[in-house]
Amino acid sequence: MFSTAGCKVVVVSFGTSQGAQNWLEQTKTGLHLYLDPTRVLYSKFGLARSVMKVWNMKTIHYYASQKAQGRQLPTALAGVEDDPLQMGGDFTINRNLELVMSYACKTPSDRPSVHHILSKL
């Protein structure tokens, strides 16, 4: 869907290169991953850290349902210190490098729909 719309989806990680590589291997994603360890983009996009948003009942229910379905959840690498309290987001930038969609996640599993993202293009 995204490639048909002329989009390129990328992941920006605010953690360590070792943690990002581990995530890529565990998720087997084919997406390009960029690192922002100083969290410049994280700050510019207005993302935050939150204990309450990361570990709320909705999040615990999501992880429990994933486990109940037999899905393997990504795990942290031993000795790699990434910040589990970072909240993510989804952002769409057009060909003119203008931000056309900004979505700060309310929980770790909260994401806008594909239709919503594509409608912003």
In tens, the pLDDT along 36-68 reads 988 898 899 988 888 888 888 888 888 899 899
Statement: residue 69 has pLDDT above 90 = yes
d(CA 54, CA 39): 18
d(CA 37, CA 30): 21
Q: What pLDDT, on the 0 to 100 scale, is given for residue 34? A: 92
d(CA 120, CA 118): 5
Closest-CA residue to 33 (of 45, 17, 55, 46): 17
Q: What pLDDT, on the 0 to 100 scale, is given for residue 103? A: 92
Statement: residue 70 has pLDDT above 70 = yes
Q: What pLDDT, on the 0 to 100 scale, is given for residue 79? A: 64
d(CA 34, CA 21): 11
